[in-house]
Chain A
Amino acid sequence: MSADESGLKELRSSVREFLEAKSSEEAVRKLLESEPRFDPDVWAQAADQLRLPALAIPEEYGGDGFGPVELGVVLEEMGRALFCAPFFATVVLAVQALLATGDREACARHLPGIAAGRTTATLAVAEETGSWDPALISARAIPDGDGGWRISGHKSFVIDGTTADLILVVARTVAGPTFFAVDRTAPGVAAEAMRTLDATRAMARLTFDAVPATVLGAEGAGGRIMADVLDIASVGLAAEQSGGARRCLEMSAEYARTRYQFGRPIGSFQAVKHKCADMLVQVELAEAASREAALLAAEGSAAFPVASAVAHASCSKAYMFAAMESIQVHGGIGFTWEHPAHLYFRRAKSSQLLFGGPAVYHERLLDRLGI
């Protein structure tokens, strides 16, 4: 299913309206100092009223069957509002990973609960170094003799790791990196919240001590699956980033129009004007890259993996730039705790590095281009 232009507009405005009511700056600030880092009531409303968790889940699994384009619109809005919710980990990382494993049985078991908003989920790949490269992981899984598996090891940087009901874990077997599903209440799972640069995105360190687990998809197929997951998750992240960057630009332009120094609005000084124009250029490029990638994903185009890598790099750069320059345009007030600029700065930096950072995603782009 896919929405036309006016459908997308409607989706955007209903999500924006919801977030303006439920994810005001005040609400975000309250959440970033509380546990869990999201409001379960608001999450339930997002599920009941807007069916957000169901959005991109295929209809056969109880979802609404929309695709990456619609998901992108929602993520742009969430990025703007710094919405604190298990959406990214559940809908972008875990759902996409489940679908990418091609394991229909597992999809049928887990996706309906996610679509209904009952289950939250996450994906645990990175370990101590933060790398998402499945070749670099050391968590291990061994057969338990009854057709099941047991996982042992540590995972770090697991988004919503202390709260997600379902944890998808990439662990090593003799066949190679493999995806597993783990119930967070299973014996042997321990979760410890990590201190985070961006407090609006909760992360945890998980310890697995011979935890019972179920294989997802083919054993040893983790490398290939992970590549697909990263392609689609990067586009989701890119949409979130471009929404955040657009917000930084809007705040800056608004301030530059209204803040007076030397008897004129600071936006009439060319140094400030050009800063804002540079931000606009970055934001326009980022938005085009992320939306185009989502479109290519929806079309199943062969050009998608390249576009995904471009979107990730372009949006990471644009968001970081917009977040930095926004503080500069705001002057001293921009550096205060009470101003929202630092919340965007933190989100921008942490998103830029979430999947490994520029050196990693640049190589990923060159790899996708066959260079």
Chain B
Amino acid sequence: MESDDMRDFAAEARRFLDAHAAKAADRAAVTWGEGDDSMAYFSSLPPEEEAEQVRRARAWQRTRHENGFGWITGPPEYGGRGLTPVHDLLYDSIESEYDVPDTGVLGVVGLGMIGPTILAHAQPALRERWLPAMYRGDAIACQLFSEPGAGSDLAAVATRAVREGDDWVLNGQKVWTSVAQHSQIGLALTRTDPDAPKHRGITAFLVPMDAPGVEVRPLRQMTGGADFNEVFLTDVRIPDDHRLGEVDGGWTVALTTLMNERNTVGSEGAGPVAAALSPDHLSALMRATWTWDDRALRGRLAELLVDAMATGYLNDRAQRTLRAGIAPGPERSVAKLMYGQNLTRAAHFVSECLGPRIIADTGRWGMYSWSELLLATPALRILGGTEEIMKNILAERVLGLPKEARA
């Protein structure tokens, strides 16, 4: 089904990657006891190492950008390549064959979710100022949506924005903000009309994170590290040209971000956690823990692999559909839901194989390191929309069941 155009694009991507990166070792293959055994989903690095990682991510994004792969689907006037989502997918799958720096700090929220929102809703000056910078790796963006009182019920945001001449003054508190500590800009949802029905009184702003009154406080998460933050906004002045969409029309803007969030979260990348669902890795672990012929555990392993592999097939099909130019159905939402479930079950399966060796570190390779994944799994059922919210969406939008009564 691949056209000449696609073949040329793939060849160009390979030439670029060959020139700038090394081919990755076969990720499915595992030699027990060799290599990095990290199973971290979230980082818990010391600050200097984390800063170094961010630096590498930026540098790799810049290299991509300089070679035409920084923003494959973006419009050329902002430094994009003007190609299709299919080209994007193709590039991703080719890049996954190489060892390249992890660009998650820029990519997941900023380039995956905030970038498309700025493109769709920001005023021209703002687009020119930030889009090229983001896709060149200079600017990192965060999503200032959740608040202590507004998580699943995002339209309940209480952070106030009050107009003063050509400016707006923001006051309030955001929470769980991933990568805010590294960000130059944040997309904030604020309440501009407290008297309107809650979805109608919201306005979206792009907040420069160095604006006076923005304070980022790291929030330690249960894995021990601090990937997310509290963000306090105290009398933060933002010019009106930093507004996205209409005054009181911020909900539409939020929907763009959320839609892109569902597309971004849940693709089972090739990161270290890929090992958690790799049959070869799991069977090597069973050998190493002498649980190889435990019938009950084997049954559970099979069940786990069935779901993980079926989720993979579902993703493959969604990609093929996209490639054929047809908008995929509910596959991405189902895959996101299953991603959290599969990794959670994998972590608990492994912990049964390991027994006490996941509760205290014996120093053995590939054992206690699983505690990193185990402790990350609860987040995977919450971030980007909880399981419960995803099920509501599937039932209402796909099956057409009646909406819940809402306040």
Interface residues of A (CB under 8 A from B): 5, 249, 253, 256-257, 264-265, 267-268, 270, 272-274, 276-278, 280-281, 284-286, 288-289, 291-292, 306-307, 310, 313-314, 317, 358-359, 361-363, 365-366, 369-371
Contact = CB atoms under 8 A, between A and B. Distances in A.
A139 to B, nearest CB: 29
Contacts of B331: 284, 288
A239 B146 CA distance: 43
A101 B337 CA distance: 43
A72 to B, nearest CB: 13
A193 to B, nearest CB: 34
Contacts of A268: 401-405
Contacts of B311: 285
- Interface of A, helix, strand, loop or mixed by DSSP: helix
A270 to B, nearest CB: 6
A365 B299 CA distance: 10
21 contacts: A256-B399, A267-B401, A272-B401, A273-B392, A273-B395, A273-B396, A276-B399, A280-B395, A280-B398, A281-B337, A285-B310, A285-B314, A285-B334, A288-B316, A292-B313, A292-B317, A310-B306, A310-B310, A313-B302, A362-B306, A363-B302
B298 interface: yes
A289 B313 contact: yes
A284 B334 contact: yes
B394 A277 contact: yes
Given A285-B314, A288-B313, A313 B398 contact: no
Interface in B299-329: 299, 301-303, 305-307, 309-311, 313-314, 316-317, 324
Contacts of B220: none
Given A277-B395, A285-B311, A371-B283, A363 B402 contact: no
B317 A366 contact: no
Contacts, number: 125
Nearest to A280: B394
Contacts of A289: 306, 309-310, 313
Contacts of A371: 279, 282-283, 286, 298, 301
Contact of A273 (B309, B310, B404): B404
A257 B400 contact: yes
Contacts of B305: 310, 365, 369
Which of A307, A366, A370 has the largest number of chain B CB atoms within 10 A?
A: A366
Contact of A264 (B298, B301, B307, B402): B402
A288 B310 contact: yes
B86 to A, nearest CB: 16
A306 B301 CA distance: 14
Which of B299, B303, B306, B403 has the largest number of chain A CB atoms within 10 A?
A: B306
A321 to B, nearest CB: 12
A249 B334 CA distance: 15
Contact of A253 (B283, B316, B338, B401): B401
A361 B305 CA distance: 12
Contacts of B405: 264, 268
B332 to A, nearest CB: 11
B334 A267 contact: no
Interface in B315-363: 316-317, 324, 330-331, 334, 337-338
Contacts of B303: 313, 362
Chain B's interface size range is 35 or more
Given A273-B396, A273-B401, A371-B283, A307 B313 contact: yes
B313 A277 contact: no
Interface in B262-306: 279, 282-283, 286, 298-299, 301-303, 305-306
Contacts of A286: 310
A314 B402 contact: no
Given A285-B314, A314-B307, A274 B334 contact: no
Contacts of B404: 268, 270, 273
Closest 6 CB pairs of A and B: A362-B302, A267-B401, A277-B391, A292-B313, A288-B314, A268-B402
Contact of A288 (B317, B388, B402): B317
Contacts of A277: 390-392, 394-395, 399
Contacts of A270: 388, 392, 404
A317 B306 contact: yes
Nearest to B401: A267
A175 to B, nearest CB: 31
Which of B298, B302, B324, B392 has the largest number of chain A CB atoms within 10 A?
A: B302
A158 B282 CA distance: 38
Contacts of A310: 305-306, 309-310, 313
Contacts of A265: 401-402
B379 to A, nearest CB: 20
A314 B401 contact: no
Contacts of A358: 299
A250 to B, nearest CB: 9
B289 to A, nearest CB: 14
Given A277-B399, A280-B398, A369-B283, 19 more contacts: A253-B401, A257-B400, A257-B401, A265-B402, A267-B399, A268-B402, A270-B388, A273-B395, A274-B388, A276-B401, A277-B395, A280-B395, A281-B394, A288-B317, A306-B309, A310-B305, A365-B302, A371-B282, A371-B283
B391 A274 contact: yes
Interface in B370-407: 388, 390-392, 394-396, 398-405
